[in-house]
Amino acid sequence: MDDRLADVTDTARPRLLLIDGHSMAYRAFFALPVDKFSTSTGQHTNAVHGFVSMLANLIRDERPTHVAVAFDAGSTTFRTEQFPQYKGTRDATPEPFKGQVPLIKEVLESMRIMHLEKDRFEADDILATLSSQADGLGMEVLVCSGDRDSLQFVNENVTVLYPVKGVSELARMTPVAVQTKYGVEPGQYPDLAALVGETSDNIPGVPGVGPKTAAKWINQFGGLEQILEHADEITGKAGESLRAHLEQVRLNRVLNHLLLDVDLPLGPDDLRAQPWDREDMHRVFDALEFRALRERLFAMMPAEDSGDEPGGAPTFEVAVADLTTDGLSGWLTAREGRSLGLEVAGKHTPAAGDAWMVAIADDAGDAAVLDLADLPARDDEALRAWLQDPAAPKVLHGAKGAWHALAGRDYVLDGVVFDTELASYLCHPDQRTYDLGELTIRHLHRELRVEEPETGDQGAFDLSLDGNGEAQRLAVRAAALVQLAEVLAGDLRDRGASDLLTDLELPLGTVLAQIERRGIAMDADYLRELERHFGEVVSAAATEAYAVIGREVNLGSPKQLQEVLFDQLAMPKTKKIKTGFTTDAAALADLFAKTEHPFLEHLLAHRDATRLRQTVEGLLKSVAEDGRIHTTFQQTIAATGRLSSTEPNLQNIPIRTEAGRRIRRAFVVGDGYETLLTADYSQIEMRIMAHLSGDEGLIEAFRTGEDLHSYVGSRVFGVPTSEVTAAMRSKIKAMSYGLAYGLSPFGLSKQLNIEVSEAATLMEDYFSRFGGVRTYLLGVVAEARSIGYTATIMGRRRYLPDLTSDNRQRRDMAERMALNAPIQGSAADIIKVAMLGVEKEIAARGLRSRLLLQVHDELVLEVGPGERTELEALVREQMAGAADLSVPLDVSVGVGTSWHDAGH
């Protein structure tokens, strides 16, 4: 048990922490912004995050030995039976709050914290009963509740933690604190509340009687019963008011009395804090997408009692070899043929990679650690030979980053047989991160923690390589890799993903490393000119916007924009949010479409130009000393398998506007090369749709080579292909792509600005002529719900547990993902296969040309002198042959001295 939970012995006093679940969840909901806490499936999580964060603070600060959370079972209780108006004035539950309490319960179950509820009773009654029972057993009791009725069971052994601000600041309501604040003893608080009433519960008090008057009467007469007995003696208007409301006061006292004898399935002794179920917590926190909160909880308390290590999970036992005698060569020879873990400390960036220390370890925990700044020649030779030996199997975590670090020291990395980061991503593609420390705890139940020596003798760890434990930490990480790889290899087999790692993601990592190191040449002067241009556009748009409203405002301030739009200009209100009405891009675009107001026109132009200027600024900062940009491709970000890029992000450069296309002119051919060549797939997602659905109409369209959208439009609208108008084609195109993303008639109507009925008719006409598509779309969701996942053509799985969720919003989002994942994921797999084929064929032919970028479905290459014709044929062949579909993979190719000019 972690020391955050008191280590209770037979003589120590147990401490019970009780929490009012609904009360604190509701307060957490209003304490944190809804729009800042939601999952990729659209589930709001602000109440969950706030509640769990509060729980973590309480466990950390109070160190309870026993914990439980009580929830209200429903709106009907014995109190509403007696007084139907009880809590009747409360607002309807906010839509974003719905579904969050069940998620809180999931978290509690993974933490093995009991939660209770009982029909016809409130959480307060459960808390009062448990508190009374625990008090009788000699326990210290802490009750966390935002309901003031809980103050009635405060005593020397029971303290209420009452929220002062959100759920982060709690006041300790002891007997003295209650007396000080309300002027009565805790047991008399219900008497005071009966007289004053409780607005939140819709319990009316005596008009004209406030807390001070009520406390005065209680202290004068001794309690509510005595006050009622002597009501005739109380003078003034307050006395008259009391006598006019005697029955209501008596009813109030019945309603606010908390029961101490609710029949519960568990007693205080059954609520002992248990070790947390880390695996289940990972599952729940993956779904909630709480990375930082998970790390905070895991740092606070281990999953299970390790016996020898009460403060944490077991660590890895590592013996670091003394290489002074046999050197690294002897150490490696003794382990020849075995997979060894490799960890590299250094800078893992493409343009400035550097390695300063490496650790190599076997599955028995024996390690060799080498300081590359002071490496004997014989060890450097042995390391270099082992690193570049394809027959020497190596296990890494994030091999691409290690490749860059080693390349910075002129080492070549080959023979990588397993990457624990990529393997974990293939098993759990919806996770936010794949930190090695989290994975070892999750799969091996061990921490990557270096133990401090009990004496001054550090034994095998005394390497004298550094002064901050870097060598020790590196050795431990390397030692964990082989063991972790063994577990993850089993998971990959269970998920049918072993080949995806071995044949696709691992070799692709090497290709991406080479692409990143090459970079792409930039015209920095042109970028600076473009930056000035967009800056002028921003300034001009702002000036024009100010002229419309007659004053200057901060166009980036939502608060000031709300005042201008909805107060000064009296525009139609947008979606209600906590801070007023939203001014996000989608809302403003919709508002402009409705009003065509010139202020909005200039505001939107200002935003667009600002975004473009920021993009250009980011590109300028990213130009390295060699005049090229070296972006970093990320393999483990998109759950569908698509690559993304960062530092800079090349996928956010707009290509559908002339302004955005101007940015692509800055990407140019480098010195010594002839031109740039771009190649991308034409309508690849629709081709995959045709293949997966087997729809004969779509397949025929692609096989005949006709324009897809005109072909489909002719069938849907019942006109010859030559008579399909631009408007018809646009509607068909929007719908065809939208279907792969679960587009509804309502969504299509908004996208095309047509009536919902017209959109529904359009979709029905589409499906009546392309029935295979409808059958596929219905079938893929049904199958995913049955087996729990979707799969791409190449077997990449995406698990979607929310397909069976009781929460409609989460279920709908999961259904859209089930529709999209096989299509977008298959497209991602195909372009990856194409990249491997292009890179391999270029090397086999000894061409100087090289692959530089992959963005969406497009490849960008630098063409060596005289190689254009051969390279174009090579690229077309490899891309077209990347998958065996029932329709051809059509490839478009263009050339030019810039990325823009090479467009097609």
Kindly state the percentage of the chain with pLDDT values over 90: 50
Please state the rounded mean pLDDT for residues 214-243: 79
Q: Which two tokens stand for residue 316?
A: 């890895």
Question: Average pLDDT for residues 160-180, to the nearest whole number?
Answer: 86
Q: How many CB atoms neighbour CB 672 within 10 A?
A: 9
- Please determine, for residue 365, whether its predicted confidence score (pLDDT) is greater than 70: yes
Is the pLDDT reported for residue 461 higher than 50? no
Enclosing H/E stretch for 762: helix 756-769
Average pLDDT, stretch 340-360? 94
pLDDT at 200: 63
- Region 346-362: mean pLDDT is 93
| More confident site: 5 or 634 | 634
Give me the residue label for tokens 């963005």. 855
- Provide the pLDDT for residue 305: 41
Q: What 8-state DSSP symbol labels residue 270?
A: G
* 516 Cβ contact list (under 8 Å, min separation 6): 350, 400, 404, 630, 631, 632, 633
Residue 9 pLDDT class (50, 70, 90 cuts): very low
Superfamily grouping for domain 685-826 = 5' to 3' exonuclease, C-terminal subdomain (1.10.150.20)
The larger pLDDT score, comparing residue 741 to residue 682, is at: 682
What percent of the chain is helix, strand and coil (3-state, nearest 5)? 55, 15, 35
CATH of domain 15-175+259-278: 3.40.50.1010
In the 8-state DSSP scheme, what is residue 451?
P
- Of 626-630, 731-735, 819-823, the least confident: 731-735
User: Is the model's pLDDT at 27 over the cut of 70?
Assistant: yes
Cis peptide before 648 (omega within 30 of 0): yes
For residue 246, the model assigns a pLDDT of 77
Segment of 233-247, 252-266, 874-888 carrying the highest mean pLDDT = 874-888
DSSP one-letter code for 154 = -
Cα three-residue angle 158-159-164, rounded to 5 degrees: 160
Most confident of the following: 74-83, 250-259, 713-722, 834-843 = 834-843
Q: How confident is the model at residue 577 (pLDDT cuts 50, 70, 90)?
A: confident
Token reading at 29: 């909901």
Confidence band of 813 (pLDDT split at 50, 70, 90): confident
Mean pLDDT, the chain, rounded, equals: 87
The more confidently predicted of residues 280 and 49 is: 49
Kindly tell me if the per-residue pLDDT of 264 is higher than 60. yes
Where exactly are the structural domains of the chain?
15-175+259-278, 313-487, 520-629, 685-826
C-alpha angle 201/204/208, rounded to 5°? 135
* Predicted confidence (pLDDT) at residue 660 exceeds the cutoff of 90: no
How far is the C-alpha of 164 from the C-alpha of 185, rounded, in Å?
20
53, two tokens: 């964060």
Q: What is the mean pLDDT of residues 637-654?
A: 90
Decide: 654 and 834 in contact? Cβ < 8 Å.
no
pLDDT greater than 90 at residue 666: yes
Phi, psi of 135 (to 5 degrees): -60, -40
Most confident of 197-201, 503-507, 738-742: 503-507
The predicted model gives 138-163 an average pLDDT of 90
pLDDT reported for residue 600: 93
Q: Judging by DSSP bridges, how do beta strands 158-165 and 789-791 pair with one another?
A: unpaired
Asked whether residue 74 carries a pLDDT value surpassing 70, the answer given is no
pLDDT at 606: 94
Model confidence at 454, in pLDDT bands (50, 70, 90)?
A: very low
* Per-residue model confidence (pLDDT) at position 307: 37
Q: Is a pLDDT exceeding 90 seen at residue 626?
A: yes
**Looking at residues 791-812, what average pLDDT do you find?**
87
pLDDT for the residue numbered 4? 41
Model confidence over 543-557: pLDDT tens digits?
A: 999 999 999 999 988
- When pLDDT is cut at 50, 70 and 90, the band that residue 511 belongs to is very high
Mean pLDDT along residues 285-301: 80
Mean pLDDT across 368-380: 94
Rounded percentage of the chain residues whose pLDDT exceeds 70: 92
User: So what's the pLDDT on residue 179?
Assistant: 87
Q: Of the ranges 133-137, 620-624, 755-759, which one carries the lowest mean pLDDT score?
A: 755-759
pLDDT score recorded for residue 747 = 82
Q: How many Cα atoms are found within 13 Å in the side-chain-facing hemisphere of 227?
A: 26
State the pLDDT at residue 451. Answer: 58
Q: CA 534, CA 700: separation in Å to the nearest integer?
A: 46
Q: Give the integer Cα–Cα distance in Å for 166 and 603.
A: 36
Least confident of 238-247, 596-605, 672-681: 238-247
- pLDDT bin (cut points 50, 70, 90) of residue 201 is low
The CATH code that applies to domain 313-487 is 3.30.420.10
Which range of 59-73, 443-457, 518-532 scores highest in mean pLDDT? It is 518-532
Contacts 24+ apart (CB under 8 A), 210-219: 211/182, 211/183, 212/183, 213/238, 215/182, 215/183, 215/184, 216/183, 218/183, 218/184, 218/188, 218/191, 218/192, 219/183, 219/184
The gap between the terminal CA atoms of the chain, to the nearest Å, is 64
pLDDT of residue 359: 97
Confidence of residue 711 (pLDDT cuts 50, 70, 90): confident
pLDDT computed for residue 890 by the predictor: 93
pLDDT given for residue 83 in this prediction: 57
Residues 514-551 have pLDDT tens digits of 999 999 999 999 999 999 999 999 999 999 999 999 99
- Interval 657-683 mean pLDDT: 93
Confidence band (pLDDT; 50, 70, 90) for 467?
very low
pLDDT band at 342 (very low <50, low <70, confident <90, very high): very high
- Residues ≥6 apart with Cβ < 8 Å to 79: 86, 122, 255
- Residue 308's pLDDT is what? 37
Superfamily of domain 520-629: Taq DNA Polymerase; Chain T, domain 4 (1.20.1060.10)
Q: Which of 59-80 are b and which e, b meaning 16 or more Cβ less than 10 Å from the residue's Cβ?
A: beebbbbbbbbbbbbeeebbbb
Mean pLDDT of 125-129: 90
Q: Output b/e per residue, 319-331; b: 16+ Cβ within 10 A.
A: ebbebeeebbbeb
Query: CA-CA distance, 510 to 394, in Å (whole number)?
Result: 14
> What pLDDT shows up at residue 688?
95
Residue 579 scores a pLDDT above 80: no
